[in-house]
Amino acid sequence: MTNRLKTMLTSGAVALCFLASSAAAQTELRMTWYNDGIEGEVMQSLLDRFEQDNPDIDVTLDVVPYKAILESLPVQLAAGEGPDLARVTDLGGLSEHYLDLTPHVSDPAYWEASFGPFLQWLRRPGEDRAISGFMTQLTVTGPYVNKTLFEQAGVDMPGEGATWEDWAAAANQVAKALEIPIPMAWDRSGHRVSGPAIAMGAGMFDAEGKPALVDDGLKKMATLLYDWHQDGTMSKELWGSVSGSTYLGANEDFANAQVVMYMSGSWQIPQFAEKIGDAFDWWAVPAPCGPAACTGMPGGAALVAMKGTEHPAEVGRLMDYLSSEAVLAEFYGRTLFIPGHLGLAAAGVDFDTDDPRARHALQTFAGAVPGISPTAFDLQGYVYNRVMFNALISRLGEAIVGELTLDQAFERMTQDITRQIAEKERGG
C-alpha cells in the first residue's frame, strides 16, 4: 500500500514537471475547437494527414464545450493566453484578435475568390483587405416540417411563396388532427428571429449604418410570435422557460415527432439524419415569406488564426492546406455542412450520406443561399450583431411570459443595445 502510494506521488510529480517543461523540438500549434457532431473527428483526420506531410509542425486539437468558446476564449485572448487557431461563432466580435494571414498564405487571390463575402464577416469595422480564416460551415436558418404528420392528417403542405401565417395555420391544423402537443417551435435565439423579421420588412440598420433593431417590420414579427405563444401555436416551454439570451432548441422534441414545424437551420441535418433516420420524413422547406422577402439568416462558424500566435508562417501553411479546395470538399462532404467556399458551392459537394431526407435538406438550404436578403448578410457581418440578437430574444422572452408588455420590451431592446455598444466603444 505504502509503495503504491509513493509511486503514485512520484509519478504525479514527474508528470507535473513534464507538463511544465514541454519544450518541443517541432513547432506546436494549438487549435481550439468545439463540436456539434462529428466535425472534430473529421478535422482530426485531416490534421493527421497534414502532420504527415509537414513533419516539422504538430497541431493539437483542443476540444472544449461550446460554452468555453463563448465565455472563456474572449478572456483568454484578451490576456494573451489564447490558442493559435480557434473555431468561433462570434465572427465579428472577436475580430480584434484575428491575425491577418495575407502575408502568410501562398495565394491570397485564391482566398479572395473562394471566400470573398465571408472574409468580410471576419474583418474589423473599416477594414476591407484582411484574410483571417474561412467558414468551417455556412449555415442558413430555415424551417423543417414533419411531412409524415402532414400526410397522416391529410393536410397539404403550403407551397412555394407561402407566408408564415399560412404555415402556422397548416401546422395548427395538423397538430389538432393528430393531437401533437406543439404545432410550431422556434429555436430560442435572436439569430433565428432575425431572418423572418427581415422578411416582414425589418431594416436592422438606419441610414448611417447604425443599428436600429426596432422598426415596424420587427414589431410585426415580434407581435406575431407573441400571439403564437398566447394562442398555443408555439409552446412557452422553449421561449418562456429560461432567462436572458440562453439558447434552447426543440431538436429533441422535433425528433420525437412532438413538433409539426421546427424553425432552426441547416446545422441540424447531420443530427436528424442520425437520430430520426427513417422514423418519419423530416423535410426542410424554403423560408416562408413576409411582405418584404422570403429569407433566412446566414451564419456559421469560422476557423480563424489568432494574432497572438508565435508561429504565423506555420499557421499560414496549415490554413493553406485546410482551405484548399480538395480538403474542404472532403470536410464539408463528410460533416454534411453547407460549403462556405464559393467554388464548391457552385460545383456542388458530394455529401457523404444516402439518406434521401438529408440530401433533400442539404439541397434546400444550399439553394436558399442566393436568395438571402442583403440586409441579412449585413447583419451577420455586423460586429455587434450578437448584442442585437441577445437584446431581441431576452426582451421578447420576458414579454412572452408577461413580465413586460410588448412596447416595454421594444423600448428595453433599444436601451440594451445602445448601452452595450456604448460600453464597448468606451475602449476595448
Site for other proteins in 293-352 (CB under 8 A): 301
DSSP 134-166: EEEEEEEEEEEEEHHHHHHHT-PPP-TT-BHHH
Choice from 157, 169, 177, 242 touching other proteins (CB under 8 A): 242
Query: Which is nearer to other proteins, 123 or 386 (by Cβ)?
Result: 386
**Is residue 263 within a helix (H) or strand (E), and if so which, with residue range?**
strand 259-265
428 near other proteins (CB under 8 A): yes
Query: Which is nearer to other proteins, 294 or 306 (by Cβ)?
Result: 306
27 near other proteins (CB under 8 A): no
**β-pairing verdict for 27-33 and 133-146:** unpaired
Choice from 58, 100, 151, 378 touching other proteins (CB under 8 A): 151
Site for other proteins in 95-134 (CB under 8 A): none
6 near other proteins (CB under 8 A): yes
Output the nine-digit C-alpha cell for 88.
Answer: 468561433
DSSP class of residue 88? E
> Distance between CA atoms of 427 and 406, rounded to whole angstroms?
33
Site for other proteins in 59-98 (CB under 8 A): 60-76, 78-83, 89-90, 93
Using DSSP's 3-state secondary structure scheme, residue 340 falls into coil
Q: How many helices (H) and strands (E) does the chain have?
A: 19, 8
Site for other proteins in 31-50 (CB under 8 A): 32, 34-37, 40-41
CB of 107 to other proteins, least distance (A): 31
The one-letter amino acid code at 311 reads H
**Is residue 49 within a helix (H) or strand (E), and if so which, with residue range?**
helix 39-53
Number of residues that bind other proteins (CB under 8 A): 95
Choice from 163, 173, 271, 414 touching other proteins (CB under 8 A): 271
Q: Which range binds other proteins by CB under 8 A, 16-24, 194-202, 217-225, 367-375?
A: 16-24
Q: Which range binds other proteins by CB under 8 A, 6-14, 108-116, 159-167, 369-377?
A: 6-14
The one-letter amino acid code at 135 reads M
Query: Which is nearer to other proteins, 313 or 401 (by Cβ)?
Result: 401
Site for other proteins in 171-230 (CB under 8 A): 181, 187
Using DSSP's 3-state secondary structure scheme, residue 329 falls into helix
CB of 377 to other proteins, least distance (A): 19
Choice from 233, 251, 353, 373 touching other proteins (CB under 8 A): 251
DSSP class of residue 10? H
Enumerate residues 6+ apart whose C-beta is below 8 A from 20. none
Choice from 205, 247, 308, 414 touching other proteins (CB under 8 A): 247
DSSP class of residue 314? H
Query: Which is nearer to other proteins, 12 or 374 (by Cβ)?
Result: 12
The one-letter amino acid code at 377 reads F
Output the nine-digit C-alpha cell for 372.
Answer: 438571402
